Amino acid sequence: MPDDITPPPTGGDGGQTTPPPSTNYLSQILDPGTPGKFVEKWQERLPAELDEYKPMLAQIGDFPTLAKVLKDNKEAARQKAGVRKLTPDAPPEAVKAFRQEFGIPDAPYEYKKPEQLPEGVEWRDDRVKNFGEWAHKNNLTPEQAQAGLDLYLGFVAEDAKTWKTTEEQMRTQHRAKELEELTNKFGGRLDTVVSNAQRAALMRGLEPDMVNPDSPKYLGNGMLSLLNDYALAVGESRLPTAAGVINMTPEREYQSIIKDKSNPKHELWAKGDKETKAYVDELRRRAVAAQGGTLVQK
C-alpha cells in the first residue's frame, strides 16, 4: 500500500462499525471448535449489568448444563411454592418420594369405627375400606383423606335426618288415616274394641301394644280387627282382665301363667303345651333383661 494512501476510518463508508461489547458478547462466549460449549471464563465477557450473576454462571460450561440448571431452578421454585404435580404415569420411585414427602403411608388408609357417630349414620366397614383404598390410590394426604371421610359422614347424617323427618311425617299421616278408618268403622265402640283386641293379644302371647293405635308398635287396623273378632269368639270368661293388660309385666305374666289357675294359659302350661311353654320361656327372658340379668322368684 502506498505511503500516501490512508485507510478509511472505521465506521465510514468503506468499513463496518464494530458493535459495542454490551451487545456483541454472544459471539465472544461460544467456543467455535465445540458447538454448544462456552469458552473459558466466558462469564467475564458478559456486560456489566449481569455482574451479580457471573459467580453462578462460572459453574456452567455449555448449553446443556445451562438448560438443566434452568429446569432444576424452575422445579425448585414450584416446590417452594407448594406446587406439586404427580402425573398418572409417574414411575414408582416418584410416587414413593411424593408419598414420603406428604406423609402418605405405603399401605391403604384404615379407619376404626368412632365411639360416637352422627345420628342416623351406620358405619359400614366394607364402604370405609373401599374409601381408604381409593384415597390412598389417588395419593390423598392423611389430612385430606380424613376430611373427605368426615364430609361423607356428614352427608349421610344430613340425608338420615331428612329421611327421619319425612318418615315421621308419613307415619303421622298414616296413623291419622287409620284412626279415621277405625272411628268410621267402630264409632263409640272403639275403646272397647281396642281393649278386647289387647286382651286377646295377651292371651295369644302377643304384646298388647301391637293392637294399640297410639303405640309405635301398632301393627295396623287389620290386626286390631282380627284380634277383636278372636276375643268375641273366645268369650269374655276366657279372656284376661282389662286390668291385666295394663299391669301385666313380663315377670307378673309368666308368674300368673304358672301359678294362677284362673289364667287361661295355666292349664295349657301345666299340660306341657309346647307353644305355651315357649311363650313362658320368652316372658322369663324378657323379665331377666328388664331386671338387669337378675330374676327374683316369687
In tens, the pLDDT along 119-140 reads 888 899 999 999 999 999 999 9
Q: Is the pLDDT of residue 3 over 90?
A: no
On whether residue 204 sits in a domain, the answer given is: no
pLDDT computed for residue 134 by the predictor? 93
On whether residue 288 sits in a domain, the answer given is: yes
From 45, 64, 82, give the residue that closes a domain.
Answer: 82
On whether residue 139 sits in a domain, the answer given is: no
pLDDT computed for residue 15 by the predictor? 46
| 110 pLDDT tier (thresholds 50, 70, 90) | very high
Domain that holds residue 263: 249-298
Q: Is the pLDDT of residue 105 over 90?
A: yes
On whether residue 18 sits in a domain, the answer given is: yes
Contacts of 265 (CB under 8 A, 6+ apart): 203, 257, 276, 279, 280
From 82, 103, 120, give the residue that closes a domain.
Answer: 82
Q: Go through 222-252 and write b for each residue having 16 or more CB atoms within 10 A of its CB, e for each that does not.
A: eebbebbebbeebeeeebbeeebbeebebbe
From 82, 98, 116, give the residue that closes a domain.
Answer: 82
Q: Is the pLDDT of residue 146 over 80?
A: yes
Coil vs helix vs strand at 107: coil
Q: Which three cell numbers stand for residue 187?
A: 264409632
**31-35, 50-54, 143-147, 272-276: which has the highest mean pLDDT?**
143-147
On whether residue 49 sits in a domain, the answer given is: yes
Across the strands, what pairs with 62? 37
pLDDT computed for residue 21 by the predictor? 47
Q: What span, in angstroms and rounded, lies between the C-alpha atoms of 133 and 110?
A: 8
pLDDT computed for residue 242 by the predictor? 65
On whether residue 20 sits in a domain, the answer given is: yes
On whether residue 286 sits in a domain, the answer given is: yes
Residue pair 202/248 in contact by the 8 Å Cβ criterion: yes
How many domains in the chain?
2
Q: List Cα–Cα distances, 38 to 20, 43, 72, 290, in angstroms.
A: 20, 9, 20, 94
